[in-house]
Chains A and B, each alone.
Chain A
Amino acid sequence: DQQVKQNSPSLSVQEGRISILNCDYTNSMFDYFLWYKKYPAEGPTFLISISSIKDKNEDGRFTVFLNKSAKHLSLHIVPSQPGDSAVYFCAASDSGTYKYIFGTGTRLKVLA
């Protein structure tokens, strides 16, 4: 059972436009959410996170939105740059455990 789902395997966006990556989860116990970026032949690197007590967290060009009632979060990248081309994973965790559950990833391609 996939507790964290990223239903779009890939996304293409023009440089300068907004990229929106989506993630859904099923476990209502999750209270901390993260986004990771992964380049080929490298390990995933942490990008941004959000706690369930918030509905938005912003860091430069990256903003994560959390809709707890819909069990949905999204990552917005504005403006998108070619260097943002990578696979993006969302992950979730709950305070009662130590583990992070990841989605299947979305491959973002930003076209110059």
Chain B
Amino acid sequence: DAGVIQSPRHEVTEMGQEVTLRCKPISGHNSLFWYRQTMMRGLELLIYFNNNVPIDDSGMPEDRFSAKMPNASFSTLKIQPSEPRDSAVYFCASSLGGGAGTEAFFGQGTRLTVV
């Protein structure tokens, strides 16, 4: 298996533009997570899905952020409109079952820069 695949690897966009980050989880995994890495907060959980259903989106910072998982092999994280403070590395991770007794596998991340 190729692991968790994220695209793009790097994204530079202007403030106010819409940004869409994409993730393909490991086949067979039924939990998917979106994290944002910042210096101040480390790896911050934004949202997680189980069996394609959003379970907890309490980490999504604002209404400008939205995430979807239309099927078991694809998820998107959208920011509209984007702001400079959204600049960070965004990671997608997947796991089999999730939570206690399993580990999450991470993609290589998308480095987002909003200018």
Contacts and interface: CB of A to CB of B under 8 A. Distances in A.
Interface of A: 2, 6, 31-32, 34, 36, 41-46, 49, 51, 89, 91, 93-105
Interface string B94-113: 01011111011111110000
B31 to A, nearest CB: 5
Interface of B: 4, 31, 33, 35, 40-45, 48, 50, 55-56, 91, 93, 95, 97-101, 103-109
A104 B38 CA distance: 8
Contacts of B48: 98-99
B108 A102 contact: no
A100 B33 contact: yes
A105 B37 CA distance: 10
A9 B70 CA distance: 38
Of the listed residues A42, A44, A46, A100, the one surrounded by the most CB atoms of chain B closer than 10 A to its CB is A100
Contacts of B107: 43
B106 A43 contact: yes
Nearest to B50: A98
Nearest to A48: B103
Contacts of B45: 99-102
A72 B10 CA distance: 36
Contacts of A97: 55-56, 98-99
Given A41-B108, A43-B93, A89-B43, 15 more contacts: A31-B100, A32-B100, A43-B109, A51-B101, A93-B100, A94-B100, A96-B99, A97-B56, A98-B50, A98-B55, A99-B33, A99-B45, A99-B98, A101-B45, A103-B42
